[in-house]
Structure formats: structure tokens, C-alpha cells
Amino acid sequence: MIRMPGFCIYAGEMVNQPTLTEMLQNHTRSASISFGEETLDLLSRVTDFSLRPDGVMQFMYQWDEPLSYNYRGRIEHVVRTFNLNVRIVTGDHHLYFLVEKDVKYGKSRDVMIELAKIIYNSTRRILNAYIVSDLIKQIEGQDSMKLETEWFRAVSSLDKAIGIFGELDTRNDDGTRGLSETHRRYKNREKTASTFLSYSKNGVRVYISANKSSVTLKAPSEVNVSLNDVEQYVRALILPKIVVESLPIDSTN
């Protein structure tokens, strides 16, 4: 079980499902790397591929990387295997790629670039998908029981960013909201991140980051949340109003 499941969100040009399925379903690519007389075989592959009844493609992207370490004064080389979950959602104008948020190694963007090479033979057709400030604030107003942290950009000529922590905006039983003085002061500024307790998810903590275009859930110890819960949240509240930029995520072909 993933304690804090999350997805980073990207967008890409439309590709029809049969073509996309053919590209991904049995994808395997092999390579090798040499260290003197020693050669390591590296494999990248798509596993556990499925096309769900709702049209979402779901699979695991798995890849090998060489790892070197010092063992009693001698450099040893081994292969280490990584994997991340991926969902592809077909929107009205774009494909949306939900790549599992890799908190430990930060590999989510690397996986997206590799998928772009498989699907488009280029990274230029994968686009940035932004969770903009207005969307974060709209979701807070709709779904937040209690706003706990928020970050703002360029709050003054000297302050590049500011983070606020506390009981910043609380939904009362009568439907009114209690706002802290600090939150009142900055709430109209450009917001880049937010953490709140979700009304629709029964108190599950939601992390939204504009910088990483990511959504992460963290439940109390007695409650289980999964990537399916994150996907549901993203599809319901994020994708309908996410902003897709025409510039690619990477200029390398």
C-alpha cells in the first residue's frame, strides 16, 4: 500500500486508442552498458497493461538503471529496476498522462519523457498541464473542510514566495467559513500550493502543487487511499479546468 499516493499530470496530442494500444501493450526495449570487461543488460518495458471499460489505459512502466557501489575497495556494478504506475485519460482535446508521483527518486518526469518517445517519437508533443492559482482556490472553496498550508508566489518585490501554516480557512457547520488574518492578507495573491482536509474524501488530506502539477492524498492511519482515489479526484476536479500550454515539456527530440 502506498501511504501517500499521488500523480503528476501531463498532456499530449490526441492519439486514437487502437494505435496507442498497439504502441504500448507489448512495448519492450533493451540496451546494454559496459564497464570495462563487464556488460550490463538494461530493459525497459510496459507491464500489466489494460484498457478499462471507462476508456482509461492503465499500466506499469518498468525500467533498469545501472548502479555502482564500492565493495571492499572494489567498484561493483549491478542493475536496479524501477517502476511507476501510469494512467492515460482521453479528454476532449488532449490525452492526459497521470504518472505516479515519485517522491523518493523524482523519476516521474523522466518516465513521461520516455513515454513521449514511444508514442510520439519526440518530446515536443507532450505539453505542460498547469494547475493554476485560480483552479487551486476554486477547489479549496468547493472541497476544503480545513485549509492547513498554502504557498504564494511573488508577494512583494523582495519576497519570492511565502508559506503559511495553521487553521487558515475552516468550513463551519452552518456553511460559513472562518478565515485567519494571515490568510485574509494573502488569499488574493498567486497561489502555488495548498494542503487541506477534503470534504468529498471524508477528511483525507489533499496536497496540490502547481509547480509539479501534482495531486497527492494522505489518509489517517485507519483509512486506506490508493492511486484509484487520486485518479478519481483528478478526473473530477482537476482535468476539467486544467490549463494546457502549447510549449513542450522538453525541447529535446
Dihedral (CA of 74, 78, 84, 86) sign: positive
Query: Tens-of-pLDDT digits for all 253 residues of the chain?
Result: 567 999 999 999 999 999 999 999 999 999 999 988 889 999 999 999 999 999 999 999 999 999 988 888 888 889 999 999 999 999 999 999 999 999 888 999 999 999 999 999 987 788 889 999 999 999 999 999 999 999 998 777 777 888 999 999 998 888 788 999 989 988 899 999 999 999 999 999 999 999 999 999 998 877 889 999 999 999 999 999 999 986 666 644 4
Q: Which residues pair with 221 in a beta bridge?
A: none
The grid cell for 252 is 529535446
What's the fold here for domain 6-129? Alpha-D-Glucose-1,6-Bisphosphate; Chain A, domain 4 (3.30.530)
Answering whether pTM is above 0.85, one says yes
The grid cell for 186 is 494573502
User: Cell 513542450 appears where?
Assistant: 248
Long-range pairs for 38-45: beta carbons < 8 A, 24 or more residues apart: 38/77, 40/66, 40/77, 40/78, 40/79, 41/79, 42/66, 42/79, 44/114
Domain boundaries, the chain: 6-129, 133-212
